[in-house]
Structure 1
Amino acid sequence: MKLELGYSPDFEVRQVEYICAGAGSFSVLYLSDLHLTRFGGPLVARLIATVARLDPQLILLGGDYLDGPRGVPHFARLLQFLATRPHVFVVAGNHDEWFGLAKVKKMVEAHHLTWLGEQAVEISLNGRRIAVSGKGASGRAEGLAFSILCLHQPAGLPRLSAAHNLVLAGHLHGGQVVLWRSARGLYPGRLFYRWNILQARLGHCLCLVSKGLGDTLPVRYNCPKDVVLVRVNPARPATASPL
């Protein structure tokens, strides 16, 4: 168990494999809740190095990027790097609305990154149709190989998950203080927030909740920050039994 005080740039890469027949192989990196201030430079530098090392095909940004104007240069540096990546999708968090949603969106779009709105965005990966949606997007289109929903807050997951293979969210920071954990979630935060979990399987959909990369009140206990890397792979062929 570890007590973490202050604006540490440390985080872990939480890796999850998703087996899905017909989707091909690709990777998705989700990062959220940066809460950048004037102390955000080391975190952004480590994020850039991590993305370069992992080399995901898709990158999803889950909101809450800034906790003040002095974090803007660090966010701009991250966006400038992400603009070199092929598929980057962005949604807003509640802190972005407080800071100024129009300002955040303008920064994102100035770097030619995709701001997810009312419509799902389709891309092609390895010849397969993949859809990426934000919260406001409607149902799943026909003929998709895989559908991803990028959220900030993990609310309404049973309803939202029905049209998707993969849902990623943040917002809860794991509760920041974790005294114990079980298959049901991270406690004591799970007592107050139903989706203070690491992951859940809802039908055919895998829902993953990040513990985030920063905090407005920079105190954590037994709750390491994280980014979530999902490796989607097709079903493996059965191995023949030896004669």
Structure 2
Amino acid sequence: MKLEIGYNHDFEVREETYLTATGPNFTVLYLSDLHLTRWSGPTISKLEQTITRLNPRILLLGGDYVDCAKGLPHFARLMEFLANRELVFAVAGNHDVFFGVERLRQLAERNNLVWLTDTAADITLDGHQVRISPAPTTERVEGLGFSILCLHKPLDITTLGCPPELVFAGHLHGSQFVFWQSTKGLFPGRVFYRWNILKTTVGRSLYLISKGLGDTLPIRYNCKKDVVFVTVKRLA
């Protein structure tokens, strides 16, 4: 077990595989909860190196980007780094409302990112339609090859009438303190937050919860920061 105090501690890449009977082969990287401050430069450098190494086909940003004005240059740097990548999508987090969602959205869109609000984005990968949505849908789209739900705050996907294949969320930070862990989740946070887990499956959905890349209160115990990298493979 390890106590981490301060900024710029290392993060891990959590790797998962999703097998699908139909749809394309691709990779997707989800990162969330950066909470950037004036001290976040090393974290952005490591994140840039990780994105370059993994080279995901789809990159999802899950919100809570900046904690204060002096963190904004680090966010701008990340946006500029991502400007030449295709298929980068972002959603806002609850914390972004306090700093200014519109300012962050403009920075993202200026660098060719897609900022998701109420409307899903439909893309085509190797002839297959893939939908990336910031909110659940009640209808299954005819001919849709694959669907991804990109959230900030976890929701109860067991209530969804039309669950997507992949669901990503952040927000909970693993509760920052993990005293023990089981298949039921990360404790003691799991006692208070149902979705304080790493992953679960609900029907055909793989639900993945990131522990995030930063914290407003920079202290963690046995709760390593992370990004989530998924390889989607079509069954032969």
How far does residue 141 in structure 1 lie from its aligned partner after superposition?
Answer: 1.5
Select between 219-228 and 159-168 the one with higher mean Cα deviation.
159-168
135 and 160 in structure 1: CA distance in 2 versus 1, 3 angstrom threshold: same
Q: Are 1:177 and 2:183 an aligned pair?
A: no
Q: Is the 8 A contact 1:162 1:203 kept in 2?
A: no
Total equivalences in the alignment: 236
The CA distance in 1 between the partners of 2:12 and 2:219, in whole Å, is: 17
Larger mean Cα displacement after TM superposition, 70-79 or 129-138: 129-138
**How far apart are residue 137 of structure 1 and its match?**
5.7
Q: In 2, distance between residues paired with 1:217 and 1:7?
A: 10
Offset at residue 27 of structure 1 (A): 0.3
- DSSP 3-state at the match of 1:112: coil
**One-letter amino acid matched to 2:186:** L
- Using the alignment, how far apart are the partners of 2:93 and 2:85 within structure 1? 22
Distance apart, 1:127 and its partner CA: 1.6
- The aligned residue for residue 111 of structure 1 is 111
Task: Write out per-residue CA displacement over residues 60-90 of structure 1, whole angstroms, 9 at most, x where no aligned residue.
Answer: 0000000000000000000111111110000
- What letter corresponds to residue 28 of structure 2 in structure 1? V
Task: Give the structure with the higher percent strand.
Answer: 2
Q: What is residue 197 of structure 1 aligned with on the other side?
A: 197
Matching residue of 2:21: 21
Amino acid at match of 1:147: S
| 1:44 paired to 2:30 | no
C-alpha spacing 1:216/1:73, structure 2 compared with 1 (3 Å)? same
CA contact (8 A) 1:161 1:202 kept: no
RMSD between aligned alpha carbons? Answer: 1.3
Q: Provide the TM-score with structure 1 as the length reference.
A: 0.94
Gap runs ≥5 in structure 2: none
SS in 2 for 1:163: coil
Q: What amino acid is the match of 2:141?
A: A
Mapped to 1, the partners of 2:57 and 2:9 lie a distance apart of 24
TM-score normalised according to structure 2 size? 0.97
Q: Secondary structure at the match of 1:43?
A: helix
- Give the SS at the match of 2:152: coil
Structure 1 letter corresponding to 2:179: L
Q: Partner amino acid for 1:219?
A: I
Amino acid at match of 1:24: P
Check the 8 A contact 2:38/2:71 in 1, yes or no: yes
Rg larger for: 1
2:77 — aligned with what?
Answer: 77
- Tell me: CA distance 1:151–1:160, structure 2 relative to 1, closer, same or farther (3 Å): farther
Letter in 2 for 1:223: C
Q: Which residue of 2 aligns with 1:239?
A: none
Shift of 1:111: 1.1
Residue identity opposite 2:107 in structure 1? M
CA contact (8 A) 1:29 1:60 kept: yes
1:227-242 counterparts in 2 under 5 A?
227-236=227-236
Identity of aligned residues (%): 54
Q: CA deviation at 1:171?
A: 0.2
